[in-house]
């Protein structure tokens, strides 16, 4: 990690290396391929890869594909792409399913040790027997099956002799344990489902809680970093490693999840938004997915820097989305060309400018980074300005165009509004203005000052473009707390809070020097903010610009 700030995981790793408990650091990032990665995953990626990097260690990308019902190749491909795009290289690419055979053997080993048994209770009965936080559980009548019978039944489960749900394999630990996770957790279930990797080879699949520690141990993972919801599972994690007599013993360490305002994050909820058509796929720019942020115009470094700033701790807070936006602004400030674009065009005719004449003006590409040079922009008798930059009856302190008022056109001249043209409905459709040739930008004119500077695009050379402006998908101030925490028990679910106006599509114009923009090119449009060329909807004829973020924010980084 570039930030060499310390955190509790780093401290543990340092101690382990210094004491000789470990001679290297091996971590893993273990997504389940049941959805696209989101910025919460980015946190886990930065922590796992970042810590290993810092200690010259290694990180595996391992797909936790133990639930064939929900998993898919599309997700595997997108996850690989996203991890690479974020700037990380994995040591080994692994799948939990690579280890199904070994896991099966370990389960058999547990049965032989009298530490696992086949249970015929239904899922519902198992839940009933489990007890509660205050009451101990009840032992299953099948708990006392002999080793021979268990071995035989487990083999027959594998052979496909039973239907889904008919039997499970359970660990034999302690039905009275104060930790419910230790009350004979299920290790294997039957599911006659084709698996994306192993096809129809298996009809029994290991449960995550059994599979995960084995995967870590097999791969020699030293520090198995996960989020705090797994804290109560740590004793089970250790039980599996120990009872399966794994040679290597990984250590599970939990850190707090990342949540951000104005959205939901869990894959289940994101999937619902995608499947029910609230958004334009997993890469919709309104989603906190890595692919959505990429399409919106976020850069890998902005995401990494943001995640690092959120830190590593045991608690999971809700971080203001404005902080994420701060980092992309910082990243684009010096690198993205400035330009002018009109999002809601209003035509202006400059009546005293010679008909047919076009002059090419010089404009800096980025005043904060002069090395980027200058660009040429045409000026003539007809231009477009923003509808919002004209008011027929302005309030006080409105310094833009209104009848009789003079403004500066960025990079060009002062113009004065002389006449307002309306259509038959009374809508303003055109302004007639005059310009003052003495006021040309860059000539050092000091004769008089104007209070407003507006942007514009010359009409005959203007290139049509589409602009997409985004608002939060779920407005934080409208939900009662974080939308993430709403569940079925609440009066409204997060779906009820989806903002119907989260996307605004506008047809406008851009400067002619932008005719050949390519997907992912990023610009700062004067007064409008940073935009990214959308890779999905742009065409040869018409680029589509996603607004990444507006220019101003009251956000300040906490010191």
The annotation places the binding site at 32-34, 38-44, 64, 208, 227, 257-258, 265-267
Q: At what angle do helices 208-219 and 100-112 cross, to 10 degrees?
A: 110
3-state SS record for 182-239: HCCCEEEEECCCCECCCECCCCEEECHHHHHHHHHHHHCCCEEEEEHHHHHHHHHHHH
Q: Is 525 exposed, middle or buried (0-12, 13-18, 19+ CB in 10 A)?
A: buried
What is d(CA 206, CA 96) in angstroms, rounded to the nearest whole number?
Answer: 10
Q: Is 195 in the site for ligand ATP (CB under 6 A)?
A: no
Q: To the nearest whole angstrom, how small is the minimum distance from the Cβ of residue 310 to ligand ATP?
A: 9
41 binds, among ligand ATP, Mg ion, none (CB under 5 to 8 A by kind): ligand ATP
Q: Is 265 in the site for ligand ATP (CB under 6 A)?
A: yes
Q: Is 61 in the site for ligand ATP (CB under 6 A)?
A: no
- Ramachandran angles phi, psi of 387, nearest 5°: -55, -35
Q: To the nearest whole angstrom, how small is the minimum distance from the Cβ of residue 412 to ligand ATP?
A: 48
What is d(CA 218, CA 256) in angstroms, rounded to the nearest whole number?
Answer: 26
Stretch of 36-44, 54-62, 70-78, 141-149 contacting ligand ATP, by CB under 6 A: 36-44
Stretch of 258-266, 342-350, 363-371, 415-423 contacting ligand ATP, by CB under 6 A: 258-266
Q: Site size for ligand ATP, by CB under 6 A?
A: 14
Q: Is 370 exposed, middle or buried (0-12, 13-18, 19+ CB in 10 A)?
A: exposed
* 420: CB partners within 8 A, 6+ apart: 392, 403, 428, 430, 431, 432
- Please give the biggest Cα pair distance in the chain: 101
Q: At what angle do helices 100-112 and 147-159 cross, to 10 degrees?
A: 160
303 binds, among ligand ATP, Mg ion, none (CB under 5 to 8 A by kind): none
Q: Is 43 in the site for ligand ATP (CB under 6 A)?
A: yes
Which position among 266, 301, 387, 493 is part of the footprint of ligand ATP (CB under 6 A)?
Answer: 266
* Residues flagged as binding site for ATP: 32-34, 38-44, 227, 257-258, 265-267
Task: Give the nearest residue (CB) to ligand ATP.
Answer: 40
Residue placing its CB nearer to ligand ATP in the complex, 31 or 508: 31
Query: Helix or strand or coil: residue 362?
Result: strand
227 binds, among ligand ATP, Mg ion, none (CB under 5 to 8 A by kind): ligand ATP
* Residues flagged as binding site for L-glutamine: 64, 208
Residues tagged active-site = 32, 257, 267
Residue placing its CB nearer to ligand ATP in the complex, 271 or 410: 271
301 binds, among ligand ATP, Mg ion, none (CB under 5 to 8 A by kind): none
Residue placing its CB nearer to Mg ion in the complex, 32 or 359: 32
* Residue 529 half-sphere exposure toward CB, CA atoms < 13 A: 22
Which position among 40, 185, 292, 345 is part of the footprint of ligand ATP (CB under 6 A)?
Answer: 40
**Which of 376, 362, 351 lies closest to 435 in space, CA to CA?**
351
Q: Is 30 in the site for ligand ATP (CB under 6 A)?
A: yes
Residues 441 and 413: beta-carbon distance below 8 Å: yes
Residues 380 and 423: beta-carbon distance below 8 Å: no
Q: To the nearest whole angstrom, how small is the minimum distance from the Cβ of residue 40 to Mg ion?
A: 11
What is d(CA 435, CA 150) in angstroms, rounded to the nearest whole number?
Answer: 92
Residues 109 and 210: beta-carbon distance below 8 Å: no
Contact map string, positions 3 to 42, toward Mg ion, x by CB under 5 A? -----------------------------x----------
Q: Is 189 in the site for ligand ATP (CB under 6 A)?
A: no
Q: To the nearest whole angstrom, how small is the minimum distance from the Cβ of residue 243 to ligand ATP?
A: 23
Q: Site size for Mg ion, by CB under 5 A?
A: 1
Kind and range of the H or E run holding 26: strand 26-29
Q: Is 304 in the site for ligand ATP (CB under 6 A)?
A: no
Which position among 7, 179, 181, 227 is part of the footprint of ligand ATP (CB under 6 A)?
Answer: 227
Which position among 94, 158, 267, 381 is part of the footprint of ligand ATP (CB under 6 A)?
Answer: 267
What is d(CA 293, CA 283) in angstroms, rounded to the nearest whole number?
Answer: 8
Concatenating the DSSP letter of every residue in 484-541 gives GG--TTSSS-GGGGB-TTSEEEEEEEE-GGGTT--TT-EEEETTTEEEEE-TTT--SS
Q: To the nearest whole angstrom, how small is the minimum distance from the Cβ of residue 72 to ligand ATP?
A: 13
Q: To the nearest whole angstrom, how small is the minimum distance from the Cβ of residue 252 to Mg ion?
A: 16
Among positions 105-144, residues that touch ligand ATP (CB under 6 A) are none
Binding site for ligand ATP (CB under 6 A): 30-32, 40-41, 43-44, 226-227, 257-258, 265-267
Name the site residues for Mg ion (rule: CB under 5 A).
32
């Amino acid at each position: 990690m570039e930030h060499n700030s310390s955190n509790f995981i780093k401290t543990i790793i340092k101690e382990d290396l210094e004491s000789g408990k470990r001679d290297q650091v091996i971590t893993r990032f273990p997504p389940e391929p049941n959805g696209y990665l989101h910025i919460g995953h980015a946190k886990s990626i930065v922590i796992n890869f970042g810590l290993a990097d810092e200690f010259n260690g290694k990180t595996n990308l391992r797909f936790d594909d133990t639930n064939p019902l929900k998993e898919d190749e599309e997700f595997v491909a997108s996850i690989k792409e996203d991890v690479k795009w974020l700037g990380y290289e994995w040591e080994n690419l692994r799948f939990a399913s690579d280890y199904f055979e070994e896991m099966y053997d370990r389960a058999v080993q547990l049965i032989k040790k009298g530490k696992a048994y086949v249970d015929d209770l239904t899922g519902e009965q198992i839940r009933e027997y489990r007890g509660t936080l205050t009451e101990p559980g009840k032992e299953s009548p099948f708990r006392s099956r002999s080793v021979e019978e268990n071995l035989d039944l487990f083999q027959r489960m594998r052979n496909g002799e039973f239907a889904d749900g008919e039997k499970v394999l359970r660990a034999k630990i302690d039905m009275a344990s104060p930790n419910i996770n230790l009350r004979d957790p299920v290790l294997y279930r039957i599911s006659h489902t084709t698996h994306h990797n192993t096809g129809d080879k298996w009809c029994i699949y290991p449960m995550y809680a059994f599979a995960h520690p084995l995967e870590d141990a097999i791969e020699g993972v030293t520090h198995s970093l996960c989020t705090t919801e797994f804290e109560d599972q740590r004793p089970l994690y250790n039980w599996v490693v120990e009872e399966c007599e794994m040679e290597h013993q990984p250590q599970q360490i939990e850190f707090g999840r990342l949540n951000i305002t104005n959205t939901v994050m869990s894959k289940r909820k994101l999937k619902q938004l995608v499947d029910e058509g609230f958004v334009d796929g997993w890469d919709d720019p309104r989603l906190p997915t890595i692919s959505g942020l990429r399409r919106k115009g976020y850069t890998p470094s902005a995401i990494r820097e943001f995640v690092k700033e959120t830190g590593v701790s045991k608690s999971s807070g809700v971080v203001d989305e404005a902080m994420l936006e701060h980092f992309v602004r910082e990243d684009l400030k010096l690198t993205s060309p400035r330009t002018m674009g009109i999002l809601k065009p209003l035509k202006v005719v400059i009546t005293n400018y010679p008909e047919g004449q076009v002059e090419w003006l010089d404009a800096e590409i980025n005043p904060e980074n002069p090395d980027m040079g200058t660009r040429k922009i045409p000026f003539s008798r007809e231009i477009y300005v923003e509808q919002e930059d004209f008011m027929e009856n302005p309030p006080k302190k409105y310094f833009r165009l209104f009848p009789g008022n003079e403004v500066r056109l960025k990079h060009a001249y002062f113009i004065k509004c002389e006449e307002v043209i309306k259509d038959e409905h009374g809508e303003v459709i055109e302004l007639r203005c005059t310009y003052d040739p003495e006021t040309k930008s860059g000539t050092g004119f000091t004769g008089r000052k104007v209070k407003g500077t507006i942007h514009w695009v010359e009409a005959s050379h203007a290139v049509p473009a589409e602009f997409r402006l985004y608002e939060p998908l779920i407005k934080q101030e409208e939900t009662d707390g974080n939308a993430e925490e709403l569940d079925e028990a609440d009066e409204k679910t997060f779906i009820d809070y989806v903002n119907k106006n989260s996307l605004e599509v506008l047809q406008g114009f851009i400067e002619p020097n932008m005719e050949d923009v390519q997907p992912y090119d990023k610009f700062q449009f004067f007064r409008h903010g940073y935009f990214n060329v959308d890779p999905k909807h742009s065409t040869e004829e018409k680029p589509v610009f996603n607004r990444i973020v507006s220019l101003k924010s009251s956000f300040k980084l906490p010191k």
